[in-house]
């Protein structure tokens, strides 16, 4: 299962979300402009998650998904490697990320 990072710009009105687009598959209608996240957005998310206490993560996220045949429990430590992979694709990690 892949992750999608969406950006909602609450200062801009939504333009039509094209049906069949990646954003359109996830968001059908929005009052704000919606875009897919960039690598810089993934990096921001990684650092934000890395510094966020686990109890804060649990209080501001969906704690689990139940797909009927598979249940996925989300936790901050479990998500960090996945988000890191999107933030630094192809192993471009530098320093202590």
Cα distances from 65 to residues 1, 50, 78, in angstroms, run 12, 22, 14
Q: Say how far apart CA 85 and CA 25 lie, in whole Å.
A: 23
Q: What is the pLDDT along the chain (97 residues), one digit of tens a residue?
A: 577 888 899 999 887 777 778 788 788 888 998 888 899 999 999 999 899 888 888 787 765 655 666 656 677 888 888 889 889 887 665 555 5
Domain boundaries, the chain: 1-37, 38-88
Please, what is the end-to-end C-alpha distance for the chain in angstroms? 23
Q: What is the pTM of this model?
A: 0.71
């Amino acid at each position: 299962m892949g992750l999608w990072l969406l950006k909602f710009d609450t200062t801009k009105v939504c333009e039509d979300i094209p049906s069949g687009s990646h954003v359109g598959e996830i968001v059908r209608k929005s009052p704000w402009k919606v875009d897919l996240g960039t690598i810089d957005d993934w990096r921001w998310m990684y650092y934000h998650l890395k510094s966020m206490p686990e109890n804060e993560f649990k209080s501001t996220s969906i704690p689990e998904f139940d797909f009927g045949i598979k249940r996925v429990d989300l936790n901050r430590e479990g998500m960090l490697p996945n988000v890191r992979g999107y933030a630094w694709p192809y192993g471009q990690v530098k320093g202590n990320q």
